[in-house]
Structure 1
């Protein structure tokens, strides 16, 4: 009976998917359907997918869900390419194609070098012949008429040879360009998080329920997990904002002011302002060139950095929010991330994991993406139950 605005992100997704399954349309589109879903619900959604009536088109970075697809279609460089099979099979096929493309590009480049070298060698020989002919003519070794005829023939022959060799070089260059076009340039988000130099014994935050207190200290990595609707995001919002907790509900307290926060719903951005302006608002002393370079490292270049944030994709908005954290001074001792992989593509998730793995401050991550949590080396797993109590787990197998 609650309003949709009052339910959790995962519950809202379940409501939407349930409505779509009841409609039973011929074609159904699901855009990132596992965002915010807990592990059991993700498994149920996978069963839904396997039995879905009609055609189902899924946009997702959830590798487990993608294994339930019959075909994989990639949008790259403005072109759609469809492969018969799930993501893992497509990925293997793509890696093989790229390996072959790289080898073909190397071979084409080598062939071009050979043609250019032969062109230079031929020009050297022609110049040597021309010098010999001029010397013979100058020394009077042969009649002038015969020397002239020979010179004319030599020039014609040299011109023909040059034309042939130039054509071969041009053809080799075309082959190189075609081979290079098949090799994909890897666009990498380069995330280098600042070193906050957090002492191991420094207490940064506390999480409380009716029975227990959990302390986050030093460069500790804590995962907060639990079923949809248990109040994980509400707990995070409460202690980040410093508002009074609800009765008999878990609550938290920050012990440091140096906190970076990425909410599940990126509502801290000014949608009408550009990415540049959004970052400048939290880093007024940072030169514009530094901000622009940082955004470029996050693949927000040129027009993307100057467009209103409301025109950016979910992944681009996330990068703007991340840039606001990266340029904070002094750097955050504690990063609090609520479902950080929502709306990120597969490559960006991996690059985010690399950055967080190298971060030397404390992390509190709310996520159902257990692959990410394992990748960043979580030290402590806290499960929030529906009864409002928190339980420490040894690992992510819950």
Structure 2
């Protein structure tokens, strides 16, 4: 028995202020339970979540949700001085309870607290502790790592207990332990949960898988692996159908040529008989008329067969996926193998030298200071080569008001605009998107711009420093990034909790940062 839909989309469309359509005439529904929402970067997943959450207003059509809706975005942009209570979304209630406890009996405070808010601080502390986070709701957000902030955000969604919860890439920046705790939260989730993610393990916990592609929403009953297998079988059948249709089209085209040859031969034989006076004029005229009618009918039949075969090819071709993929071709910075590039220093004073085109992974738990360490390096502390290209974990440092083209051109002032547009197209940044403001982009699109600005810089960087580079990339784009980095001839330092990604980079060494600030070389 099918469950009643919790979210219904009816001819939903949304256009950005410049008129660029992000979603067009989308209809579909999400059922109660856990749904993983997948799709290529730029397909509109984050935009769709914001429309469901009411953060954006549809240009046309409607969204209907059963009950209340809560939303956790990809980028948590709270001020560093905000508290955990702010991040959890309970600050107003906590302050009201504390005021009443201190003796203030204003009726407005009791309205804020309601029937269920009196123990909110205790429930919040218990939920934070259960996920390995500090239970102090007054702790500053600035004291948390990106992963800890994201995990706290998910805890806040659970505490607020909305009917429909929307999570956009919730495993971004989470270390292995934190991901395990998040997975447990998801397993125990009650109500409707819609999760945008490229984390395979998280997607395997879903009851349904929904894919947003080509302006259509496809919902499959089962986790991502089952949907992927279903899609593979479907695509194999579609490719076979396309091959068969093309073969039939070739046959019908040959038949059409053979038909013309037969008609021409018949006409030639008739003219020969007339020239040899083997047929009188009256009979000849009758033969000509009959032959013309027969030839016209025959041609029409053959043309119809060719048209039908071509339609079958077109229909079969529509079912075969041929998605665009980013294509990253990094310039060669010509880093000599013996050149000292950078020095990473631990709290005990021990130094690790990055020499030549070495590939180093920097790992460690959430909150140990990995980002702080590489930020210091990118700022020059321990840097021995120049230029360096740094991709931060949070990409909200890009000017939201700048156009995509201006943003990328700032790092490559010597590259002609036409050539820069061609290079951006390889990142699937093309057409009107090039002239849009960065602030209007989805998380995945924004990340591609940040990546393009970094990798298209002129002159090319001798050292790439990447902090969680797979956070906002779809699975195909991660594959292309791995390929590009494999061909890169400069030095690389990458921070990532994605062990699968690290395992594909052909690393020279892994350094683990401990909570005491000491760097240790991991025996690999």
TM-score tier, shorter chain, comes to over 0.9
Kindly indicate whether residue 460 of structure 2 is the aligned counterpart of residue 331 of structure 1: yes
User: How much does 1:268 deviate?
Assistant: 4.2
Kindly indicate whether residue 244 of structure 2 is the aligned counterpart of residue 107 of structure 1: yes
Residue 21 (structure 1) aligns with: 158
Residue 146 (structure 1) aligns with: 283
Secondary structure of the 1:300 match is: coil
Q: What CA deviation, in whole Å up to 9, does each residue of 1:311-351 have, x standing for no partner? A: 12222222222222333233211100011111111111111
Q: 2:315 aligns with which of 158, 178, 186?
A: 178
Q: 1:163 aligns with which of 283, 286, 300?
A: 300
Q: Which deviates more, 132-141 or 170-179?
A: 132-141
Residue 217 (structure 1) aligns with: 355
Residue 11 (structure 2) aligns with: none
The higher relative CO (CA closer than 8 Å, separation ≥ 6) is in 1
Kindly indicate whether residue 159 of structure 2 is the aligned counterpart of residue 42 of structure 1: no
User: How much does 1:84 deviate?
Assistant: 2.1
User: How much does 1:139 deviate?
Assistant: 2.7
Contact map agreement 2:246 2:313 (CA 8 A) in 1: yes
Q: 1:137 aligns with which of 266, 274, 293?
A: 274
Kindly indicate whether residue 339 of structure 2 is the aligned counterpart of residue 202 of structure 1: yes
Kindly indicate whether residue 498 of structure 2 is the aligned counterpart of residue 361 of structure 1: no
CA-based RMSD of the aligned residues comes to 1.5
**TM, length-normalised to structure 1:** 0.93
Secondary structure of the 2:389 match is: strand
User: How much does 1:5 deviate?
Assistant: 4.2
Q: What CA deviation, in whole Å up to 9, does each residue of 1:159-204 have, x standing for no partner? A: 1111111111110010010011111113121111122222222111
Kindly indicate whether residue 188 of structure 2 is the aligned counterpart of residue 59 of structure 1: no
Query: In the aligned structure 1, how far is the partner of 2:180 from the partner of 2:151?
Result: 12
Residue 237 (structure 1) aligns with: 375
Query: In the aligned structure 2, how far is the partner of 1:83 from the partner of 1:59?
Result: 15
* Structure 1 moving runs of 4+ over 4 Å: none
Residue 245 (structure 1) aligns with: none
Residue 247 (structure 1) aligns with: none
Contact map agreement 1:260 1:336 (CA 8 A) in 2: yes
Contact map agreement 1:225 1:368 (CA 8 A) in 2: yes
Query: In the aligned structure 2, how far is the partner of 1:253 from the partner of 1:152?
Result: 93
Q: What CA deviation, in whole Å up to 9, does each residue of 1:251-307 have, x standing for no partner? A: x41111221111111244232222211121121111112111110011111111121
Kindly indicate whether residue 513 of structure 2 is the aligned counterpart of residue 384 of structure 1: yes
Contact map agreement 2:333 2:460 (CA 8 A) in 1: yes
Contact map agreement 2:411 2:458 (CA 8 A) in 1: no
Query: In the aligned structure 2, how far is the partner of 1:33 from the partner of 1:370?
Result: 17
Query: In the aligned structure 1, how far is the partner of 2:194 from the partner of 2:411?
Result: 40
Contact map agreement 2:403 2:437 (CA 8 A) in 1: yes
**TM, length-normalised to structure 2:** 0.71
Q: What CA deviation, in whole Å up to 9, does each residue of 1:34-64 have, x standing for no partner? A: 0011110101111111111122211100111
Paired residues for 1:313-352 under 5 Å: 313-352=442-481
Residue 410 (structure 2) aligns with: 281
User: How much does 1:116 deviate?
Assistant: 0.9
Contact map agreement 1:314 1:344 (CA 8 A) in 2: no
Query: In the aligned structure 2, how far is the partner of 1:370 from the partner of 1:357?
Result: 16
Paired residues in the alignment total: 386
Q: Which deviates more, 290-299 or 306-315?
A: 306-315
Q: What CA deviation, in whole Å up to 9, does each residue of 1:72-115 have, x standing for no partner? A: 11111111112222212211221221122112111111111111
Secondary structure of the 1:254 match is: coil
Q: What CA deviation, in whole Å up to 9, does each residue of 1:193-234 have, x standing for no partner? A: 122222222111111123211111111111111111111111
Contact map agreement 2:392 2:467 (CA 8 A) in 1: yes
Residue 81 (structure 1) aligns with: 218
Q: Which deviates more, 68-77 or 384-393?
A: 384-393
Q: Which deviates more, 82-91 or 296-305?
A: 82-91
Secondary structure of the 2:382 match is: strand
Secondary structure of the 2:343 match is: strand
Q: Which runs of 5+ in 2 are unaligned?
A: 1-137
Residue 272 (structure 1) aligns with: 401
Residue 364 (structure 2) aligns with: 226
